[in-house]
Amino acid sequence: MHAVSCFAVVACRNPVSKRWLAVQETPKHDCLWWLPAGRVEQGETFFAAALRETREEAGIDVELKGILRVEHSPMGVHGDRMRVIFYAEPMDASSPLKSTPDSESLGAVWTTVDELARWDAANMLRSTELLNWASYVEGGGAVAPLSVLGAESSGPPLAKAFTGPKECRLFYRPTKPQHRYTPIPTTHVEERTDVYISHSAEVGIKFRCEDRLEIKVRLAADGDGWEGWAKHRCSDADVVGALERLQVPPLPPTSTKVVVHKRRVVMNVGNLYAIEETDIVVSAPGDMGGELWKSICVEGDRAVAESVATDLLAALLDENVVVCGYPAFVADAAARWHEAAPRHAPEATPQGSAHHTATVDAVGGAAAAPMNASTLPLGAGSK
């Protein structure tokens, strides 16, 4: 059998300090400096291997931002080698780096291109790869999207052109929970609970009807709150496989489940646009309480609906409004929980499991009193 050895390599830059991540190799490699890298294990993707190797060798979690190169080297009777070199940034720019030696590495540091050049002159580098890639990126070199690497037969990446209706969604912690800012009748209230898996502002993952998976991918963002989304519904609950098939970034290492209970009303204005107002309780699985939020969304042709969204924002001047989509809202909630309860942070969702339930002992922000569907205020008051 013709063997192919696969390796993931990570060039990681801190966006705050503008320094590059270097790891010190073990005595097996003469204690020289290099970048996080290692073999892709059986059944593992290049993406997962890159995240794992960086965590093992540098002690931090990173977000893969793009691909610098895909390499294939025929080696004759010894089999072939294939490497994917990723560009990444730390999930938390202030996270401490590994300082305790083990079998993976002796430790890690943030360094500069100039310092790497001095190390190279002093024969302190295992190779010049980190120096070369750091110089390339800082010189404006192109970074390919992660979507260039996909599973076999996964098809082309999602089209970037977006011509469908856009939405502008607002979230706020209500100072007056009974007050409503829209004229939507409350004669028909839809109530449901969605379980999200935190990912990023660009990708939303949620379970509907238990095992039915829905993934939203942001295809358009105007920079002032209007976004366009493509929805993909999967017949199974294979989160990792679905993300790979859609050729979007994998689950981040800190991904966790977030429960969002909703009571919402919707009003369609002809075929022009729709307005939605929703009362929300967001919590960790198993929590009896949670954070009380409200959301208002205007969806449709922006040329027609923009004035409606502008009027709503003006009416909400007394509220602390966040303009973003559900994926960013969920990712922010998960991040707050990690910051508020570092000793009891949610257990990360395993890369190979969609059904793992995380637990959180503390919820960031001013937590609302324990409540259930009957205590949500939607429909109890009007403007």
Q: Per-residue confidence at 164, pLDDT binned at 50, 70, 90?
A: confident
For domain 169-340, give the fold.
Hypothetical Protein Pfu-838710-001 (2.40.320)
What does the DSSP assignment read for 68-108?
EEEEEE--GGG-EEEEEEEEEEESSTTPPPP-S--SS-SEE
Question: 230-279 pLDDT, tens per residue?
Answer: 888 876 667 887 887 777 888 887 788 999 999 999 999 888 899 999 99
Average pLDDT for the chain: 83
Q: Determine the pLDDT at residue 171.
A: 95
- Mean pLDDT over residues 282-300, rounded? 89
Does the pLDDT of residue 179 top 60, yes or no?
yes
For 227, the 3-state DSSP assignment is strand
Query: CA-CA distance, 375 to 279, in Å (whole number)?
Result: 11
Q: Do 251 and 48 touch, CB atoms closer than 8 A?
A: no
Q: HSE of 309 in the Cβ direction (CA atoms, 13 Å)? A: 26
Look up tokens 């559900």; give the residue: 326
Q: How far is CA 157 from CA 21, 26, 152, in A?
A: 30, 39, 12
The pTM of the whole model exceeds 0.85: no
Query: CA-CA distance, 149 to 318, in Å (whole number)?
Result: 46
Q: Which CATH number fits domain 4-148: 3.90.79.10, 3.40.50.720, 1.10.443.10, 1.10.15.40?
A: 3.90.79.10
Q: Determine the pLDDT at residue 11.
A: 97
Q: What one-letter code names the amino acid at 268?
A: N
Q: Determine the pLDDT at residue 346.
A: 40
Q: Determine the pLDDT at residue 354.
A: 34
Report domain extents, the chain.
Answer: 4-148, 169-340
What does the DSSP assignment read for 238-307?
-HHHHHHHHT-PPPPTT--EEEEEEEEEEEEETTTEEEEEEEEEEE-TT-S-BEEEEEEEEEE-HHHHHH
Q: Determine the pLDDT at residue 359.
A: 26
Sort strands 203-208 and 190-197 into parallel, antiparallel or unpaired. Answer: antiparallel
* CA dihedral for 97, 19, 104, 247, sign (positive or negative): positive
Q: How much helix, strand and coil, in percent to the nearest 5, is found in the chain?
A: 20, 35, 45
Does the pLDDT of residue 168 top 90, yes or no?
yes
Q: Do 203 and 217 touch, CB atoms closer than 8 A?
A: yes
Question: 300-310 pLDDT, tens per residue?
Answer: 988 888 899 99
First to last CA, the chain: 73
Query: CA-CA distance, 37 to 130, in Å (whole number)?
Result: 11
Residue 269 φ then ψ, to 5°:
-105, 90
- Mean pLDDT over residues 7-33, rounded? 95
Q: Which alpha helices (H) appear in 97-183, and where do they start and end?
A: 113-121, 129-138
Q: Determine the pLDDT at residue 76.
A: 80
Q: Determine the pLDDT at residue 92.
A: 87
Residue 225 φ then ψ, to 5°:
110, -15
| Domain pair 4-148 / 169-340, same fold | no
Sort strands 190-197 and 166-172 into parallel, antiparallel or unpaired. Answer: unpaired
- Mean pLDDT over residues 348-353, rounded? 41
Does the pLDDT of residue 365 top 80, yes or no?
no
CA angle 341, 346, 349 (to 5 degrees): 160
The contacts of residue 143 (CB under 8 Å, 6+ apart) are 65, 66, 67, 68, 87, 137
- Mean pLDDT over residues 29-37, rounded? 94
Question: 85-119 pLDDT, tens per residue?
Answer: 999 999 888 999 999 999 999 999 999 999 999 99
Question: 253 versus 49: which is more confidently predicted?
Answer: 49
